[in-house]
Structure 1
Amino acid sequence: MNLKEFNAIVSSPADLRYEYFIKKTADTQILWGLYDEGWAMTHDQDGSALLPLWPKSEFAEHCSIDEWSGYSGRPLDLAAFMEKILPKLEQDGVKTAIFYNNSDSAIVGAGRLMNDLRAALKKY
């Protein structure tokens, strides 16, 4: 991916980045988080925990600054994520911060993310 394409995607509105995330993740069967002796987490305006996720390593690494400066991108297998992690997030009330760009992200509950990923996977 060239810099122009990268910048165009990163600067897109959160809802378009979410759509891009769903399509790319279904296509590659991999999603990315930031990891350093534990997964990078953030919080919404109400203080609720959020797990940030990205469709490609480049986008995750782009956010490895400030409080996440020691973190690096780590891949997650989509099938395992859907089978093990999403149900745990749902149970714990943890939402996801999809495709954070150092400014904003799409805040999505685990149930909706599961449904959107399943719908995208049916196209393959």
Structure 2
Amino acid sequence: MNLKEFNAIVSSPADLRYEYFVKKTADTQILWGLYDEGWAMTHDQDGAALLPLWPKGEFAEHCAIDEWSAYSSRPLDLLAFMDKILPKLEQDGVKTAIFYNNSDSAIVGASKLLQDLEAALKKY
């Protein structure tokens, strides 16, 4: 991906980045998080825990700054994520912060993300 394409995607509104995330993740069967002795986490304005996720490692690395500067991108297998992690997030009340760009992200509940990923996978 060239820099112009990268910047265009990163600067898109959160809802469009979410759509890109779902499509790209279904296509590659991989999603990305930031990891350093544990997964990077953040919080919404009410203090609720959020797990940030990205469609490609480059986008995750772009956010490995400030409190995440020691973190590096790590891939997650999509089907294992859907089967094991999303139900646990739902049970624990943890939402996802999809495609954070150092400014904002799409905040999505685990069950909604699971539904959207399942729908996207049916197209393949």
Task: State the TM-score bracket (shorter-chain normalisation).
Answer: over 0.9
TM-score, L = length of structure 2? 1.00
* Structure 1 residue aligned with 2:98: 98
- Aligned-residue Cα RMSD (Å) equals 0.1
Correspondence for 1:48: 48
| CA drift at 1:9 | 0.1
Distance in 2 (CA, whole Å) between partners of 1:45 and 1:111 is 21
Aligned residue pairs: how many? 124
User: What is the aligned partner in structure 1 of residue 58 from structure 2?
Assistant: 58
Q: Secondary structure at the residue paired with 2:47? A: coil
Instruction: Find the residue that maps to 2:51 and give its secondary structure.
Output: strand
Query: In structure 2, what is the equivalent of residue 31 of structure 1?
Result: 31
Per-residue CA distance 1:36-71 (angstroms, 9 max, x = gap): 000000000000000000000000000000000000
Equivalent position amino acid for 1:114 in 2: L
What's the TM-score once normalised by structure 1's chain length?
Answer: 1.00
Whole-Å Cα distance in 2 between the matches of residues 19 and 79 of structure 1?
18
* Percent identity (aligned): 90
Using the TM superposition, give the Cα deviation of residue 13 of structure 1 relative to its aligned residue in structure 2, in angstroms: 0.1
List, as ranges, runs of 4+ consecutive aligned residues in structure 1 with deviation greater than 3 Å: none
Unaligned runs of 5+ in 1: none
Counterpart AA for 1:51: L
Rounded Cα–Cα distance in structure 1 between residues aligned with 2:94 and 2:24: 23
Q: How does 1:1-124 map to 2 (within 5 A)?
A: 1-124=1-124
SS at match of 2:85: helix
